[in-house]
Amino acid sequence: MKKQILGEREEFNSILPEYGRRKLLTYADSIRELAESFRETENNREVLPEEVNTDRRDFVWQKRLNENKDLMIEHLQEMAQIMTQLAEEARRCVPMGERRYRQISHALREVDIQLKNLYLIENETGRMEVSITVKNIKKNSLSSEEIGDLLSVLLGMRLVSAQDNPFFVGADWQTFYYVEEARYHVLTGVAKAVKETEKISGDNYAFFETQTGNLTAVLSDGMGSGDKACNDSTMVVELMQKFLEAGFQMEMAIQMINSALMAGEENANMSTLDLCSMDLYSGECHFVKVGSACSYIKRQHLVDRISSGNLPLGIFQKPDMEAVGRSLMDGDYIIMISDGVLDALSQGIGEDMLPEVIGSTNLENPGEMANAILNFCIHQCRGRIRDDMTVLVIGIWKKEG
């Protein structure tokens, strides 16, 4: 029984068994050694006299090859770092008394759920996680969300189901994971307009969770318009989501996307990147901009502008990234826009007036706010949409209780 009660005197420092942790660290060391061997080969390479006056095309090709080698070295090092971080992730097992464990087991049996294991874990950030292994002993299946609601009452904390949980509790033993509920919740809204001479927008966006309690918004404006611009910005958005969900650091993810744009078959594969990552536990948010238009934080009638002066992705081998952090409060709104919005305003009252326009709106629904901003901009350019326009609005509110 004591083993099931998550070991009253037991603590574990890793979410992996010791054998798996050591194996992962060994893989990480091997990948680092491979990266170093590439680096040593590159550093030890001597330039022969006959190579000095080589053909210019060969020189450019060799330069690009060396740049790709440097990038591969960085990718290998990043993979090794991700493996190391996973192996060393710390968790603390929080003791639970036998009496409380039996109470939870009895309450679950009342709804035809049999309990096998229950672990209450404190992660590195101090937030609580619950791992529970159960099975359904009758035909009436409960959902993982309903189990989470029951555990919230029994454990005295607000829990939400992790992203990868099965939907229903089945007849076989299954392990479900729950995390402490975030303090804030969000609503999003989007408004778009396509350039008048095109059928498809060159702007693309996505909202996604890299982990529970973290919302990331990405907006990319492909250079030009039409299919090519759409393809470039789609690649930026989709790759950014995949890399961040896989655990890559932001800087490395942007570097890899930049390399993918530069390796395109056509010239001038350029796209902007506008990213906002929000921690819904703390209310902290971080903006990362590469050639993108200004973003705004609206707090009642006050507006904070976040701008950048760098160039888009796909121009330089090493992209210039600008990062800005802000603390959000209950009732704040984040507004992200593409360049076409500012271009439309420049034909009317001027783009510098946008903060005043945003601050004067009394709309609370993010979708309505996005449409109001877009419609105002279209009115300013008298309906002549010379560039794709996209407005993203994210509203954040503190949960009650």
Average pLDDT, the chain: 84
Judgement on whether residues 317 and 347 belong to the same structural domain of the protein: yes
* Positive/negative CA dihedral, 166, 253, 86, 325: negative
Q: Which of residues 180, 205, 228 is at a domain's end?
A: 180
Q: Are 258 and 313 in contact (CB under 8 A)?
A: yes
Token look-up 């790709």 returns 68
At residue 387, φ and ψ (nearest 5 deg) are: -150, 155
Q: How far is it, in rounded angstroms, from Cα 144 to Cα 151?
A: 10
Answer for the pair 134, 115: CB distance below 8 angstroms, yes or no.
yes
Query: Domain limits at 66?
Result: 18-87
Q: Work out whether strand 284-290 and strand 203-211 pair parallel, antiparallel, or are unpaired.
A: unpaired
Asked if 207 and 215 touch (Cβ cutoff 8 Å), the reply is yes
Task: Give the pLDDT mean for 376-385.
Answer: 92
Residue 181 makes CB contacts below 8 A (sequence gap 6+) with: 158, 159, 160, 399
Residue with tokens 């996209």: 390
Q: With bands split at pLDDT 50, 70 and 90, how would you rate the model's confidence at 3?
A: very low
- 154 in the same domain as 83: no
Q: What are phi and psi of 198, to 5 degrees?
A: -120, 160
Query: Which two three-digit tokens encode residue 31?
Result: 């990948």
d(CA 236, CA 4): 46
- Distance CA(87)–CA(221), nearest Å, equals 37
**Looking at the structure, do residues 212 and 259 belong to the same domain, yes or no?**
yes
Report the pLDDT value the prediction gives residue 252, as an integer from 0 to 100.
81
Q: Do 327 and 283 meet the contact criterion of CB atoms below 8 Å apart?
A: yes
CATH number, residue 284:
3.60.40.10
Q: Quick count: other Cβ atoms within 10 Å of Cβ 162? A: 17
Task: Say whether both 111 and 74 belong to one domain.
Answer: no
- Chain segment 69-89, per-residue pLDDT in tens: 676 777 677 777 777 776 666
Residue 192 located in a structural domain: yes
Q: What is the CATH number of the domain that holds 142?
A: 3.30.70
Residue 2 included in any domain: no
Does the structure show a pLDDT above 50 at 10? no
Any domain includes 267: yes
User: Would residue 9 count as lying in a domain?
Assistant: no
Q: Which residues of 217-231 are buried (b: 16+ CB within 10 A; e: fewer)?
A: bbbbbbbbbbebbbb
Q: Positive or negative CA dihedral for 168, 108, 124, 284?
A: positive
pLDDT at 4: 43
| Cα separations in angstroms, 17 against 22, 23, 88, 165, 191 | 9, 10, 11, 21, 48
Looking at the fold, whether 222 and 239 belong to one and the same domain comes out as yes
Residue 225: inside a domain: yes
Is there a domain that residue 110 lies in?
A: yes
Q: How many domains does the chain have?
A: 3
User: What pLDDT, on a 0 to 100 scale, did the predictor assign at position 5?
Assistant: 43
Lowest mean pLDDT among 54-58, 123-127, 227-231, 377-381: 54-58
Considering the domain architecture, whether residues 34 and 131 belong to the same structural domain is answered as no
pLDDT greater at residue 10 or residue 181: 181
Q: Is residue 257 part of a domain?
A: yes
pLDDT at 32: 73
Please report the pLDDT score of residue 42 as a whole number.
Answer: 57
Strands (E), 316-372: 322-327, 332-337
pLDDT(2) > 60: no
Residue 7: inside a domain: no
Residue 303 β-bridge partners = 298
Cβ atoms of 331 and 397 within 8 Å: the answer is yes
- Report pTM: 0.78
pLDDT tens for 32-53 read 776 776 666 656 555 455 554 5
Listed in sequence order, the residues at least 6 apart from 310 whose beta carbon sits closer than 8 Å to its beta carbon are 289, 290, 291, 319, 320, 321, 322
Q: Are residues 96 and 241 in the same domain?
A: no
Residue with the bigger pLDDT between 85 and 54: it is: 85
If asked whether residues 193 and 159 sit together in one domain, one would say no
